[in-house]
Structure formats: structure tokens, C-alpha cells
Amino acid sequence: MARAHVSIGEVLSELRDEFPDITISKIRFLESQGLVEPERTPSGYRKFYVSDIERLRFVLREQKDNFLPLKVIKERLDEVDGGGGFTPTPPEPPPEPEKKRRAKKAPTREPVLFEETRLARERAEAKEVAKEVRDDDAGPDSMVALETGVSLTRSELAKAAGLTDEQLGQLEEYGLVVPTHTAKDRVLFDEDALAIARAGGAFMRHGIEARHLRMYRAFADREAGLFEQIVLPYRRQRNPEAQAKTTQALGDLSGLGRQLRTALLRQAVRRTLGG
């Protein structure tokens, strides 16, 4: 039985023919601006339905054909929502000759979206099993704050990450896990803190202590400083287009940095272990 939803990677495949410049980072950015709101699984993965894809298609066409700012597109989306929202009907097959129509009953057709992306779906599902945060191993990263609504207390964070209070304390001590909001006696953590805590716990299970992970924090800070110099000209401009360019550039640079680190680490391991 066909699924009613698809992943963000499948959405990319569906839209790329009409919008060659579309990227996962762009879709996440539009989500962060409230232009599309895909459903989330308990583990945080996005679930896009046909109406979500048509909504994205509408936004991208307004940008491409009419050069409208996101604020105006949002107003038009509100009008569409007021009229019932996006409820597209799958394309009808071309009419058959009269004789053929009488000779056989038209088969029930699966929506074109799912027919065209069946193979892409299987590949995307295989990737999702092997990752928790990233949606694409080879493409740009998302530097947009995730709008998942994740807000955890310290005890909830420890439980969700599978850590003891002592282990979480070690990650906090070395500046790896930091709260997003602190108000009086209530400290809250977001999805990034959860991802870091889970990764830190996995390192600990391999015998690597929190103090050994400080190099990742130091490198991330230096890398962020380098990228800031690149995107500074965009940040000085106060308009949605410049903000979108900033987000895209950061995603591209982060993805390139991740690929470079992986290749360098693989090279170093081979040299060290003689593999």
C-alpha cells in the first residue's frame, strides 16, 4: 500500500525538474519562515504530503516568476488557506478511444508523485535509518534553527539522549551541551543540544570521555568564525533575499567542511593504521 507522505529528499526529486536550483537547505529555510509546515515523526523526521508539496511549488513559482518577497507570498498563502488550502487532484490519464474504454475498466492509478519517486523513496529510507540529524550526506547542511518545537528540561534531555546525570554534567562542563533558554529555575534545551548529547553519549560508549571532545567545540567555533567572514557582506543587507543567500552560503560551506573533514580523517586513519 502506498504511503501518503514522502521525505524531504523525495520532495527535492519531485521539484528539481521545474526548479533546478532547489536544495534541501532552501526547503528548510522556507519551513523556518513558516511558508510550509510538514508534519514531524516522533524522532523529528519531516513528513511531506501532496498538499505540502503543492504549497512549496506555489512558493517557488511566486519567487521564480513574479519575484515576490516572502512576506507577500505568505499573505497569498493565507488567502489560499482561507479558501480551503491546497488539495490537488492527481492528473487524469489521456482519454482512451471509445472501444478501449468499453473493453476494459480503467485501473486505479497511484498519484504520479509516488509513481515517479518510488525508487528515490527506497534510497531515502535507507539513508534515514543511518542518520539522526542530516538528511543528505553529500549536499549542503542546514544552518537554519530547526523549528521542531523540541524543548526539553535537563532531566528530559538526559533521558532522551540515554545519558546519566553525571555524563550529561560532563558534556555541560566542557561546553558541549548548552541550554537554549534559562529563566529563573527553569533551564531548557533544544534539538541541537539533544543531537550533541546523543553523539556525546555514543562517544562515551566507545570509551572517549567528554574532555576529549573539547576539540570539536573548539574547531566548530573556529569554523564558524571563518564562515562569518564569508557571509558578512550578506548580513549587512536587511532584506529577505540577502538572508536567504546567507543561509544558503552557510549550508554550502558547512557541507564542504564536513566532506573535507571526513576525507582528511579517512586519509589520516589509513596513514596511522597502515590501512
Q: Give residue 136's region: left, alpha or beta (phi > 0; psi -120 to 50).
A: beta
Asked if residue 110 has pLDDT above 50, the reply is: no
- What pLDDT score was predicted for residue 107? 45
How many domains in the chain?
Answer: 2
Residues 247 and 190 in one domain: yes
Least confident of 38-47, 152-161, 165-174, 233-242: 233-242
Of 44-48, 115-119, 215-219, the range with the lowest mean pLDDT is 115-119
Q: What element of type H or E holds 53?
A: helix 50-66
| Predicted pLDDT at 138 | 55
The whole-number pLDDT of residue 96 equals 57
CA angle 215, 219, 257 (to 5 degrees): 130
* 134: in domain: no
Q: 163-211 pLDDT, tens per residue? A: 999 999 999 999 999 988 876 667 888 889 999 999 999 999 999 999 9
Nearest Cα to Cα of residue 71 among 23, 35, 21, 26: 35
Question: Same structural domain for residues 251 and 198?
Answer: yes
Within this chain, do residues 34 and 107 fall inside the same structural domain, yes or no? Answer: yes
Ranking 3-17, 27-41, 132-146, 152-166 by mean pLDDT, the lowest is: 132-146
For residue 142, being part of any structural domain is answered with no
Is residue 80 predicted with pLDDT exceeding 90?
no
Contacts for 203 with CB less than 8 Å, ≥ 6 apart? 212, 213
Q: Would you say residue 212 has pLDDT above 90?
A: yes
Amino acid present at 156: E
Give this prediction's pTM: 0.47
Burial of 243 (0-12, 13-18, 19+ CB in 10 A): middle
| CA proximity to 15, closest of 3, 25, 27 | 27
**What is the phi-psi region of residue 265: left when phi exceeds 0, alpha when psi lies from -120 to 50, beta otherwise?**
alpha
Task: Locate 214 and state its grid cell.
Answer: 573539547
24 found inside a domain: yes
Regarding whether 262 and 158 lie in a shared domain, the answer is: yes
Give the pLDDT band of residue 57 (cuts 50, 70, 90).
Answer: very high
pLDDT in tens, 128-175: 544 444 444 555 666 555 444 567 888 999 999 999 999 999 999 999
122 within a domain of the structure (yes/no):
yes
Compute the radius of gyration of the chain from its Cα atoms: 23
pLDDT mean over 228-249: 79
In terms of domains, do 14 and 108 share one?
Answer: yes
Q: Considering the domain boundaries, does residue 148 fall inside one?
A: no
Same domain for 104 and 167, yes or no, is no
End-to-end Cα separation, the chain, in angstroms: 46
Q: Taking the CB of residue 256, how many other CB atoms lie within 10 A of it?
A: 12
77 and 165 co-located in one domain: no
Range of the structural domain that residue 50 is part of? 8-129
Do residues 15 and 101 share a domain? yes
- Are residues 164 and 198 located together in one domain of the fold? yes
CATH number, domain with residue 206: 1.10.1660
- Regarding whether 162 and 115 lie in a shared domain, the answer is no
Q: Is residue 12 part of a domain?
A: yes
CATH number at 87 reads 1.10.1660.10
Average pLDDT score over residue span 231-242: 76
Percent above pLDDT 70 for the chain:
73
59-65 long-range contacts (CB < 8 A, ≥24 apart) are 59/30, 59/35, 60/15, 60/18, 60/19, 60/22, 64/19
Where a domain ends, among 114, 129, 144?
129
CA–CA gap between residue 43 and residue 96 (Å, rounded): 46
Q: Output the pLDDT for position 171.
A: 94
Rounded CA-CA distance 70/140 in Å is 22
Whether the CB-CB separation of 32 and 244 falls below 8 Å is answered with no
Tell me what the pLDDT averaged over the chain comes to. Answer: 78
Both 180 and 248 in one domain: the answer is: yes
